[in-house]
Structure 1
Amino acid sequence: MSEARGAAVAPESAPVVALGAGRMGRGIALVFAYAGWPVRILDFKPRASDAFAALREEIGRELRATLADLAACGLFDATAIDTILARVTVVPEAGAPDALRDAALVFEGVPEVPAMKREALARASALAPAAIIASTTSTILVDELAPAVASPGRFLNAHWLNPAFLMPLVELSPGRDTEPAVVARLKAMLESVGKVPVVCAARPGYIVPRIQTLAMNEAARIVEEGVATAEDVDKAVRYGFGLRFGVLGLLEFIDWGGGDILFHASRYLVGALGHERYAAPDVIERNMERGDIGLRTGRGFLDYAGLDRDAYRLARLRAFAERLRAEGLARPPVLDAPERAA
């Protein structure tokens, strides 16, 4: 579980409801129960009583096993597992009215079928009159689903990255009718449980899926073309791409080195590899024309006016050093090496 950021929001007596008993609902349930909230996993699929009992047992075993793994990783003391699990209730479909009536927050996580989602959202929003309603869909845009929601001003998409109980990022995508206060409230609630929410427009792919789809496809092409083995591509990503961008964001890195470097590298790759997918977007050329190429000019994608640039660089270098230490790659200098002839 990640460390909480931002303004604190104390756990409420009103529960969080995970609508759907699949992987995403279970992960979200763990996040909020870990942070002290009462949680209901609502199985929104009608089942016979024996089938539901089997599902409830399966969910209990899975949540306990996941918490045991997290405790084994040193994130918390395993003696707290029962306390956390006691906050989670698995509710059958017939119990939906009682489960939703007093909900503070409902995360819809039914299968990625628009008609199923609309039906679930219509019913749940009618039963949860005061709750913020958020769909966890990774593919369906918020305004395609909003008409199904009673009072759509309280509805938005909240795309969690798997596994939800570990990954800090949640991409929030408000729709045309989403009230700004609802976005602010959900951001605060997520920050209070250790998540890092970002807000993006209702466009296909949000932020991370758009970037990672390009990166994963390019990695596959490198292997397909015989440029490198899968093992070496992944090693390059872990110790180059991943380490670097775990400290500097992609746009921050453009500014760090200079947008002019990306501009010229993109032009070279288009010519050398013969494909427009390497072409820089227009914003890179516009920044070049204005001279806004990053840290050394004071402005790029980010504004560095008034920033102590030396202190900023040192802070980033310290963060890199911490990453190296975490990977076991930070070594002291060799001081007793034999003298070499000049």
Structure 2
Amino acid sequence: MSREIVACIGAGRMGRGIAQSVAYGGHEIRLLDARARDGEAFGKLAGEVEAEIRQGLAALADLGAFDGAAIPAILGRVTVWPLDRAAEAVKGAAIVFEGVPEVREAKAAAFALFDAHADADAILASTTSTMLSTDLAQLTRRPGSFLNAHWLNPAFLMPLVELSPCEETDADVLSRLRAFLERLGKVPVVCKASPGYIVPRIQALAMNEAARLVEEGVASAEDVDKAVTYGFGLRFAVLGLLEFIDWGGGDILYYASNYLAQAFDDDRFAPPGIVRENMEAGRIGLKSGAGFFDYAGVDVDAYRRRRMAAFVSALGANGLLRPPAANET
């Protein structure tokens, strides 16, 4: 695997998580402090960064994720740089992540550092969780080199990274960043610049609905979370949401959604147009041969067995797989 130099402007929580992932993957990562500090304050920051990453690595090693003997080598690939050495920190980096607070002025300052000091072929990737790449692209003189890379927290554990290019993003830039993340063991997905991206948008609806259940007295907070952990969570750790629609049948979602919309007199439960269109076209999932996905040529029995095996594995990992009860004598 080729070794690359990566920089991150911002040494806060996100920057540290990215640093741990990048260094774990065998690459040099330079964390650039985005704030001007005196020597003592910077020294304290650098110590905090090393301690947090060391602690995170040690916790994973203790859980058996890897041999803890590798920790010194991983830490050796992480360096922290003061703002007045920005030119040195960014120079030579193939990828420069921006991990500063969600304030436009802070983003603009970070992008200006990239424009001034980064190599001509370097990639600039914001880690914003709220702003759109199409908006942030206006802050750099090199929009063709820019896109958003939204890491889910904690960045060193969660595999998913949502990539959101802007209209000017070069296809090669998207391809290179996706390939790099995959080499780190991450799972990148691509989405258009849209509020909430994919996960935060779905997540916001689910979390708000869970809060409403408690607010309405339908169930306790403990039972809502138990239902999510052992029902919703286990199910969707194996099947994607759209895959599950096809698995059970889009007709079930269609009728259930209409019932809920009427029962609550609230359109937030109404089925979207694409579900109605699939119903009208007879594309209701596995039983019709097509839904959100095309099952033509798919060995459905083998597919079901693979998914069942994944369910069994998930149950085992959560200590929920039990042998059958013995006959009573």
Alignment TM-score, normalising by the size of structure 2: 0.98
Q: Does 1:97 align with 2:83?
A: no
Say yes or no: does 1:255 pair with 2:270.
no
1:211 CA drift (Å): 0.2
The count of aligned residue pairs is 328
Q: Which runs of 5+ in 1 are unaligned?
A: 1-9
Shift of 1:334: 2.3
1:122 deviates by 2.1
Moved more, 119-128 or 93-102: 119-128
2:287 aligned residue: 296
Moved more, 267-276 or 193-202: 267-276
Does the 8 A contact of 2:278 with 2:284 survive in 1? yes
Q: How does 1:138-149 map to 2 (within 5 A)?
A: 138-149=129-140
Tell whether 2:236 aligns with 1:245.
yes
Partners of 1:219 and 1:151 in 2: CA distance: 42
2:19 matched to which residue of 1?
A: 29
Gapped runs of 5+ residues in structure 2? none
Amino acid in the other structure paired with 1:22: G
Query: Structure 2 vs 1, CA of residues 11 and 164 (structure 1 numbering), >3 Å: closer, same or farther?
Result: farther
Contact kept? 1:33, 1:39, Cα under 8 Å: yes
Q: Distance in 2 between matches of 1:98 and 1:39?
A: 13
Identify the residue that residue 178 of structure 2 maps to in structure 1.
187
Q: Distance in 2 between matches of 1:322 and 1:136?
A: 33
Find the aligned partners of 1:239 and 1:309 in 2 and give their Cα distance: 26
1:67 to 57, 76, 97: 57
Give distance in 2, aligned partners of 1:275 and 1:266: 10
Match among 152, 170, 173 for residue 161 of structure 2: 170
Amino acid at match of 2:277: R
Match of 1:210 among 201, 222, 228: 201
SS in 2 for 1:246: helix
Which AA in structure 2 matches 1:136? T
Question: Which residue of 1 is the match for residue 70 of structure 2?
Answer: 80
**Which residue does 1:47 correspond to in 2?**
37
Cα separation, 2, equivalents of 1:91 and 1:176: 32
1:317 aligns with 308
Q: Hey, what's the Cα distance between the residues in 2 that align with 1:145 and 1:276?
A: 33
Partner Cα distance (2:141, 2:132) in 1: 17
* Shift of residue 72, structure 1, vs aligned partner: 1.1
In 2, Cα distance between equivalents of 1:37 and 1:78: 18
The aligned residue for residue 117 of structure 2 is 127
Displacement of 1:271: 1.3
Aligned-residue offset at 1:218: 0.2
State the Cα distance separating 1:142 from its structure 2 match.
0.6
Tell me by how many angstroms 1:104 deviates. Answer: 0.6
CA distance in 2: counterparts of 1:230 and 1:34, whole angstroms: 37
User: RMSD between aligned alpha carbons?
Assistant: 1.0
Task: Among all aligned residue pairs of Structure 1 and Structure 2, give the percentage whose two residues are the same amino acid.
Answer: 60
| Aligned match for 2:107, one of 117, 136, 155 | 117
Q: Paired residue for 2:319?
A: 328
1:134 partner letter: A
CA contact (8 A) 1:125 1:133 kept: no
Mapped partners of 2:328, 2:21: distance in 1? 51
Amino acid at match of 1:95: R
CA distance in 1, matches of 2:267, 2:289: 30
1:269 deviates by: 0.6
Q: 4+ runs of 1 displaced by more than 3 Å?
A: none
For 2:28, the aligned partner's letter is P
Q: CA deviation at 1:168?
A: 0.4
| Distance in 2 between residues matched to 1:243 and 1:11, nearest whole Å | 37
Answer 1 or 2: higher relative contact order, Cα 8 Å, separation at least 6: 1
Partner SS state of residue 156, structure 1: strand
Which of 266, 269, 277 lines up with 2:260 in the alignment?
A: 269
Q: Quote the Cα distance in structure 2 between the aligned partners of 1:11 and 1:156.
A: 23
